[in-house]
A and B are shown apart, each in its own frame.
Chain A
Amino acid sequence: MPGAPNKKQKRADYRLARSQQDGATEMPRKKFYRQRAHANPFSDHQLEYPISPQHMDWAPFFPAYKTDPEELPEATASNNDDQIAQRQPKRLRQDVEILDIGCGFGGLLVALAPKLPDKLVLGMEIRTQVTEFVQERIRSLRAQHQDSNEFQNVGCLRANTMKFLPNFFKKGQLSKIFICFPDPHFKARKHKARIVSTTLNSEYAFVLRPGGIVYTITDVEDLHNWMVHHLELHPSFERVPEAEQESDECVKIMTTETEEGKKVERNKGQKFVALFRRLEDPPW
């Protein structure tokens, strides 16, 4: 593989240089973070995920929202496993409420954050390189906007949401989930790797509060039909009517601000948008 070690070296140098300048306001450059566009959601990877939402330490992702240490009883370093449920990390003042699944290079996150200043916005991405890029991007944005305190409400972490969504969020925690330009997985035998499926929709319904909305957008008509079919078929979701969809500000951002959205724009492709509202669970 000629070239590869060289590239690796360049990337390492670039990252080292970035990490050494604290509070870098310069945006990271994509070319040092490119990664193959597909990841296998079924493989184990080397993922880090909390045992349960109670165990998740959000402080590194949203440092401005950390609760003061005095407010809480000290997080005891008790190793007694029976008390694991009580041994909780520091809390944030508020919970993450908006999730971008497969946030890619973070275009949507960065556009959403200023529009929803009182909500915490999180991006999840399975590719390490890309996650790192978004984290760097947020870091520089925060440094650039130190005065206005913008972009403190946006974060990004590496995760496989298809497997570990319930490890991060408790029941009904989220109000919006964005699924933007997901991997279309054209081959029939890869359809089970699609991010929207009958069985996965149950998990989205679990973390979404009633009234919450799933936003989907894609440039692939087939995938659009697939997502509409599966979400409409799921008893926990109903399609949001076209008129309401048009007036949603997030739809505009999603259509124009995502990296993929811009690319499709350049290539004069189509974009298919569909919104779904989480319904109340029927009595049981």
Chain B
Amino acid sequence: MAPLPFQFLCALGQDGILCASRGDMLYTFGADCSLIAEHSLGARPAATSTEGAKEEEEKRTQAPQNGSSEATSQAQGVEGSEAATPPPKRRKVGSEAAVSSAQPAAGIDQAQQANGSQKRKNAEKPVEATEKSYAILLKATSNGSHVVVVTGGNKTVCVLEHDGKGILLNSVKALTADGEKTILVADKFGDVYALPLIPSADDSLDEGAAALQESTRLARKGANNLTVHTQRNLKALEEQARQRAAKQQQKEQQKETGPTFKQDLLLGHVSMLTSVAVASADGRSYILTGDRDEHIRVSRGIPQAHVIDNFCLGHTSFISTICLPQPDLLVSGGGDSELYAWDWKAGVLKSKVELLQHAKNEANVDGDKIAVTGLYPYNVAGDAGLLMAVCERVKAVFVFKVQDGKLTYVETINLAGYPLDVAFVQVPGQQSRMVVSLDQDIEGPSSSSGLYVHLLGSEGQQQPPVYPNPEGGRIDLSRPEVEKILYTVGNLRKTEFDDVTAGGDQVAAGEIEEKLAQ
């Protein structure tokens, strides 16, 4: 049995606060690396029943009072906060769609563009290893006021408010006019939705409209006796009509089960969507999406997200992550052995930088395949920025310099374990920290927290601070289970099987397709 390591990291605001996820727990650490609070995401069973939806509805209406009373009672102390913490407000996204990613998006309205910075967005395959509500994605708004967590087992996006001191609240307050207020969520089926960060009264679906939708859906019918002709098919059709009537009766008795907040479908890929980024050029926003079938799509932002401006095509293997270290520069990585740098506005590949060779030379990687799991841009004010690249099961962080739209390799930082996520924590009056969450238990259990700190821009011999390893909420899983949760990107690679369909045996081909569909 091995404990689950810290997985996702994000910095909250500019005061050096770090938020880390481990299983279904969130932890916040202060600038002095002390543990401030823990927050349970609540391991509730997946809410797929009608009851779940109702419960959600109640939660919505109650949330304002809840937040002010319970959350404020939560002491600044480290202990005892677990029991007092109510399960976070959760919103279920689609009954079928597996939500695999969420990200607070930048400036959508005019007013927001002033302080909206671009945000990166990742999607990952949902965790199948467990039904528990483990975090599969963790993001903060650029001002650190809200944390968005996606949990895998129950396909939920949770929005938590951050009080600026490291305490996460469930409260729903009226949102001030500025700031980011839209979450872009991409699901495994390739669709990108816009959700309100905080649903307001007019965002919720009009009940009448919802009812109308339902009725039109039922009124539609499938085949009719003009489209099917054989005896058996006609019989099947009759049977379907009977079943439909029965279902309708049943539906009338039941209440609507879908989500009750507004969710706008922005765009979609048929391929599995793996990454989303929000960009802007000339004061217009754009949505960039990367998928498993090597496409990067450049769509216009809201409200013209249906217009595709461009495609950045050139990858030969899956894309797992994209980011914008500079406003006009897009960097993408995935199953290819290089990182690709694009002029995304024109859809032109500017350059590629080698990654596999560095992984082989400096990080002892065997084999000739790598899978980039994360790209993390770090911008020093007014200077050339840095870009950190992390690959699955490679014990290193690769550092690149970004200058004038070009990437140059700088160095490799070797690590004690496999890196899982990277966050940059800015502490006032101190050097910035790069925090890397590590999976250290490759050879055996380790007692340290697994949060590795690297001081950025340090020439001196300063000792990096150490983050503690909180005892609470440790989850012991077997090593294969842990791996299943942590390492999902490599599985995106397409397997090279023989094409049975080319051989001419269509029955076998059909069977294989059925299997793949499952």
Which residues of A are interface residues toward B (Cβ below 8 A)? 1, 4, 8, 11-12, 34-36, 38-46, 51-53, 81-82, 84-85, 127-129, 162-164, 166-167, 171, 184, 186, 189, 192, 197-203, 205-206, 219-222, 225-226, 234-236, 267-270, 281-282, 284
Contact = CB atoms under 8 A, between A and B. Distances in A.
A interface, by DSSP: helix, strand, loop or mixed? loop
B196 to A, nearest CB: 20
A205 B271 contact: no
Contacts of A203: 308
Nearest to A128: B501
Contacts of B189: 192
Contacts of B270: 41-42, 162-163, 199-200
B517 A51 contact: no
A185 to B, nearest CB: 9
27 contacts: A35-B506, A42-B517, A44-B494, A45-B499, A45-B513, A46-B502, A52-B314, A53-B313, A82-B352, A128-B499, A128-B501, A129-B504, A166-B311, A184-B227, A186-B223, A199-B265, A199-B269, A200-B268, A202-B306, A205-B307, A220-B223, A220-B227, A222-B223, A235-B304, A267-B226, A282-B304, A284-B284
Given A44-B494, A162-B270, 10 more contacts: A36-B509, A41-B270, A42-B270, A43-B512, A46-B496, A46-B498, A84-B349, A163-B271, A198-B306, A282-B307
Contacts of A186: 222-223
Contacts, number: 147
A234 B513 contact: no
Contacts of A171: 310
Contact of B220 (A225, A234, A281): A225
Contacts of B313: 51-53, 166-167
B222 A198 contact: no
Contact of A199 (B267, B502, B503): B267
B280 to A, nearest CB: 12
Contact of A198 (B190, B268, B310): B268
B404 interface: no
B368 to A, nearest CB: 15
Given A39-B513, A184-B222, A199-B191, A284 B503 contact: no
Contacts of B96: 189
Contact of B307 (A34, A220, A281): A281
B52 interface: no
Contact of A284 (B190, B224, B304, B494): B304
Contacts of B222: 184, 186, 220, 222
